[in-house]
Amino acid sequence: MNPTRILLVDDHALVRAGIRALITMIDGFEVVGEAGNGAEALALIETVNPDLVLLDITMPSMNGLTALNEIKTRFPNVRVIILTMHEAREYAIQALRGGAAGFSPKRAASNELQQAIETVMAGKTYVSPELAHDGVSAEQAAAYDQELLNKLTPRQREILILIAEGKSMKEIGRSLNISVKTVESHRAQLTERLGIHDVAGLVRFAIRLGLVRVE
C-alpha cells in the first residue's frame, strides 16, 4: 500500500524539522515536500502531488487561511489539516468552514498527529480533543453555516444555487425572469450576509449545505 504523501507548510524551518521527525516515526506516512508560506505551497502541490497538507496559519506572503482557500479551489482532492499555535475556537471554525479536514495544535504529540492524519485520510473530520472540549466541532461549523443560510431570503438562495451551478449573471436573470441589475443586487446582499465575497467560496458553501451536488 502506498504511503500517504504529506506536504509540510510552515515558515519556521525548525518547526518543519520537528514535524518531519514525528512523521518519520509513523509507518505509512511520507513527507514529500516543505514550504515556508502559502504561495510556495501552491507551487509545490502541482509538482509533488501530496495527499495531505499540514498547514500553518501565520506565515508571510500568504497566510494559511488564504492558502487553504486557494488549495480547496485549485486542488479539491488534497486534504488539509491546520496545524498551528493558534487554538482559539474562532480559528478552528473558520478553518473548518474554509474546507480544512482537521485542526490540531502544533504541540500535539506524535500519537495525536497520527490520529489526526489517519482520521482525515479516512474521509472524516479531526478536531483536537482540547478544542473539542471547548465546543469546537465539525457539527458546530455546520450549524453555523446553516445559521448563515437561514439569513438569506428565498430569492437569494435561488441565486446562490444558480451561482454554484456555474450560471452567469445573464443566465440567472433569464432563468428567474429578472434583470441583471437585480441579480447583481441580490448577489451583493447575499455575499454580505454570508461574509463570502468570491465565487469559489460561494460554491463551497453551497456544496457544504447540500444545495448543489458535486459531480
Express each pLDDT in 76-98 by its tens digit: 899 999 887 755 566 777 787 77
pLDDT of residue 176: 93
Residues 6 or more apart in contact with residue 27 via CB below 8 angstroms: none
Same domain flag for 72 and 132? yes
Residue 132 lies in a domain: yes
Same domain flag for 109 and 18? yes
Measured CA to CA, the distance from residue 186 to residue 104 in angstroms comes to 38
What is the CA angle 45-48-51, rounded to 5? Answer: 70
Same domain flag for 124 and 157? no
Give me the CATH number covering residue 12: 3.40.50.2300
Same domain flag for 66 and 96? yes
Give me the CATH number covering residue 198: 1.10.10.10
Do 93 and 69 contact (CB within 8 A), yes or no?
no
pLDDT digits (tens, 9 = 90+) for 40-65: 999 999 999 999 999 988 888 888 88
Q: In whole angstroms, how large is the CA radius of gyration of the chain?
A: 19
Higher pLDDT, residue 49 or 106: 49
Higher pLDDT, residue 208 or 121: 121
Residue 213 lies in a domain: no
pTM score of the predicted model:
0.64
Residue 18 burial (CB < 10 Å; 0-12/13-18/19+)? middle
The whole-angstrom distance between residue 169's C-alpha and the CA centroid of its chain comes to: 26
Same domain flag for 94 and 18? yes
Same domain flag for 20 and 47? yes
Number of domains in the chain: 2
Per this entry, what is the length of the chain? Answer: 215
pLDDT of residue 158: 93
Query: Which structural domain, as residue segments, surrounds residue 170?
Result: 151-208
Same domain flag for 71 and 173? no
Residue 26 lies in a domain: yes
Residue 146 lies in a domain: no
Same domain flag for 105 and 34? yes
Do 211 and 160 contact (CB within 8 A), yes or no?
yes
Same domain flag for 99 and 21? yes
Is the pLDDT assigned to residue 1 strictly greater than 90? no
Q: What is the rounded average pLDDT of the residues 135-143?
A: 60
**Of residues 211, 175, 179, the one with CA closest to residue 194:** 211
**Of residues 182, 187, 171, 194, the one with CA closest to residue 97:** 194
106, 136, 166 - which closes a domain = 136
104, 136, 168 - which closes a domain = 136
Query: Residue 124 — very low, low, confident or very high, per pLDDT cuts 50/70/90?
Result: confident
**Of residues 54, 67, 169, 174, the one with CA closest to residue 116:** 54
